[in-house]
Amino acid sequence: MAQQAYMTETDGGGSGPRRSTRFRNLLRDRGIWRRGIVLAVCAVLLALVMMAHTRIPNAIGNLGSLVDTFLPWLGLLIPVLLVLGLIRRSATALIATILPAAIWLDLFGGLLTDKTDSGGDLTVATHNVNADNPDPSATARDVAASGADILALEELKASEVATYERALASTYRHHAVSARSDCGASTR
């Protein structure tokens, strides 16, 4: 009869604990969190400038206008902060760099996409109805037939506003009449 030999390992085997040990050591290493404090502060300051750029006053040398002009270019500081954070091996700096990156993408990310789409279709028409117009109802019907999405009427007499409102009500439900220079505007 043949005999079989069995061998078992009792040392806990496997590489399970060894794999997670390196990650745990990184988390426990306080230096990785302390190294990039200055870079993290710079990232937060950059994020604040980008987020509150409209609140920077122009009183001192048109500083607010200057910041608005160079605002898209401030995004070039983000890769610099990222590289410096990697060189310093700082988790704090890398995490803090996410903040200005997210704000910059919110402000200017739409400019990076493809613009070959036809986009929306908006038709705006303006018409001088002439204050001495003998037939405002016919003029209103002709203007409504134009199919414009937004319609602005010029030289509209205050006494004829009701006539135009009735004639344009079915096509342009939303409207506003401005008293400046006796002009009115209607929108669909």
Domain boundaries, the chain: 30-109, 124-187
- 69 or 1, greater pLDDT: 69
pLDDT value of residue 9: 64
**Greater confidence, 91 or 52?**
52
What pLDDT score does 112 carry? Answer: 84
- Per-residue pLDDT, 14: 53
pLDDT average, residue stretch 62-78: 93
Rounded to an integer, the average pLDDT of 79-92 is 92
DSSP 75: G
User: Alpha-carbon distance 9 to 140, whole Å?
Assistant: 95
pLDDT at 183: 45
Distance separating alpha carbons of residues 40 and 45, to the nearest angstrom: 9
Among candidate residues 69, 75, 38, the one with its CA nearest the CA of residue 53: 69
Question: Mean pLDDT, to the nearest integer, of 86-108?
Answer: 93
Helix, strand, coil shares of the chain, percent, nearest 5, are 55, 10, 30
Q: What is the pLDDT of residues 19-39, one digit of tens each?
A: 567 667 666 767 677 788 999
Q: Where are the alpha helices (DSSP H) in 2-121?
A: 16-28, 30-34, 37-51, 63-70, 77-88, 91-108
Q: Which of 54, 98, 103 is nearest to 74 (CA)?
A: 103
Which comes out higher in pLDDT, residue 175 or 22? 175
Rounded to the nearest integer, the mean pLDDT of the chain is: 82
Residue 7 vs residue 116, higher pLDDT: 116
| Contact indicator for 74, 48 with CB cutoff of 8 Å | no
| Amino acid identity, position 106 | D
More confident residue, 184 or 87: 87
Collapsing DSSP to helix, strand or coil, 125 comes out as: strand
**Which tokens sit at 28?**
């426990």
Enumerate residues 6+ apart whose C-beta is below 8 A from 86.
94
Burial class of residue 188 (count of CB atoms within 10 Å of its CB; 0-12, 13-18, 19+): middle
pLDDT of residue 15: 53
Share of the chain above pLDDT 90, in %: 31
Contact indicator for 111, 88 with CB cutoff of 8 Å: no
Residue (of 37, 48, 176) closest to 93 by Cα position: 37
